[in-house]
Amino acid sequence: MGLINPARRLASFRVQFEKSLVNARMLYELLDTPPRQADVPNAKKPKINKGEIQFDHVNFSYLSGEPVLQDVSFVAKAGQSTALVGPSGGGKSTIIYLLLRFHDLEDGHIRIDGQDISQTKIKSLRQKISYVSQNPVLFEGTVADNIRFGRPGASQEEIEAAAKLAQAHDFILEMHNGYETEVGELGSNLSGGQRQRLSIARAILRNAPILLLDEATSALDNDSEQLVQAALDGLMKNRTTLVIAHRLSTIQNADTIIVIDKGRIAETGDHSTLMNSDDSTYAKLHNIGSRSATRKRPPAKKIQPHHLLLD
């Protein structure tokens, strides 16, 4: 029971969290809880320069006997964008969770710039990573506070520069109090696209060498989609990006596309190579419509409070 109750509380907390806005202090308390995965003795701070990510024969399952990732090996090159695409439940988000060390591997290694992440300090590892989740979360406080959360201590100029890159500056200035507008007052007045752009601004401010992006699947109107794409382009520049891509524009612009199907890598290549190869899963996904192909998901077996545990 000692284990189940905290997990339940966390799960119900997440639900509240997504529905409403939560007191920022509660959030900090949560972030300050020790990471679930313990550091190994003598764990080192990772030295990350370029940020090349390597999965080396990774096997993983949440429940024993039900493999979720099987023999997954790939390299996400430094400074480039690598898109993960594929049918729902294939294991794309799990790949991101393993990089953030929310779970330990069953087998294999994940390395960043050659360093096995299982031997690094989790906290330092996560400081090198920006993670934009599928459901952007806003906190009680001002719009500026919400962006500053990416890097506490950032100046007003830095916050505004990040918001500009994220295509958020203009709509922020239209708010009655600009950057000092209380997000609580806005309630649900912010559109999905605006929320996403605020969370992208937060990630830009964080300025970590590695970016993990779980693209939102919720439909955006055309204008919003273009603005979000422009924001993402700003964020992805010169960063090693692993993006779970649902938008055609993100997929086509990716340097490398990895198709994940039933826990395995089915195909790797760029858009035109994959489109032109015979019988490719990618071409089939593409023809179904890449937006809907990855969107439907079965009901989750467990609620994953992961994105609350980032720092």
Ligand X SMILES: Nc1ncnc2c1ncn2[C@@H]1O[C@H](COP(=O)(O)OP(=O)(O)OP(=O)(O)O)[C@@H](O)[C@H]1O
For ligand X, the binding residues (CB under 6 A) are 62-63, 68, 88-94, 294, 297, 301-302, 304
What minimum distance in Å lies between the beta carbon of 219 and ligand X?
15
Complex with ligand X: residue 85 or 144, whichever CB lies closer? 85
DSSP assignment of 196-214 equals HHHHHHHHHHH--SEEEEE
Tokens of 201: 């601004």
DSSP string covering 105-121 = -SEEEEEETTEEGGGB-
Minimum CB–partner distance for residue 103 and ligand X (Å): 8
Give 88 or 238: the residue with its C-beta nearer to Mg ion. Answer: 88
Neighbours of 40 (CB within 10 A): 12
304 binds, among Mg ion, ligand X, none (CB under 5 to 8 A by kind): ligand X
Shortest Å, Cβ 107 to ligand X: 16
Q: How far is the CB of 258 from ligand X (least distance, A)?
A: 12
Determine how β-strand 107-112 pairs with β-strand 115-116: antiparallel
239: nearest Cα among 212, 259, 271: 212
Is the Cβ–Cβ distance between 72 and 124 less than 8 Å?
no
> Which partner, ligand X, Mg ion, none, binds residue 294 by CB below 5 to 8 Å per kind?
ligand X
CA-based radius of gyration for the chain:
19
Of 204 and 260, which CB lies nearer to Mg ion in the complex structure?
260
Query: Considering beta carbons, is residue 46 or 87 the nearer one to ligand X?
Result: 87
Distance CA 51, CA 47 (A): 9
Question: Applying CB under 5 A, which residues contact Mg ion?
Answer: 93
CA atoms of 157 and 162, how far apart (whole Å): 9
Q: Which pair of structure tokens corresponds to residue 34?
A: 């020790």
Run of H or E residues at 266: strand 264-269
Q: Which is nearer to ligand X, 91 or 193 (CB)?
A: 91
Alpha-carbon distances of 161 from 110, 135, 236, rounded to whole Å? 34, 23, 15
Neighbours of 55 (CB within 10 A): 22
Q: What is the DSSP letter of 140?
A: S
Nearer to ligand X by Cβ, of 176 and 302: the residue is 302
Q: Judged by CB, which is closer to ligand X: 237, or 297?
A: 297
In the complex, the smallest distance separating the C-beta of residue 162 from Mg ion, rounded to whole angstroms, is: 26
Closest distance to ligand X from the beta carbon of 191 (Å) = 22
Q: Which residue is nearest to Mg ion (CB)?
A: 93
Q: Minimum CB separation from Mg ion for residue 93, in Å?
A: 3
The interface partner of residue 88, options being ligand X, Mg ion, none and the CB cut-off 5 to 8 Å by kind, is ligand X
> Cα–Cα distance between 182 and 264 in angstroms, integer?
45
State in angstroms the smallest separation of the CB of 95 from ligand X.
7
DSSP run (H or E) holding 28: helix 24-31
User: Of 6 and 152, which CB lies nearer to ligand X in the complex structure?
Assistant: 6
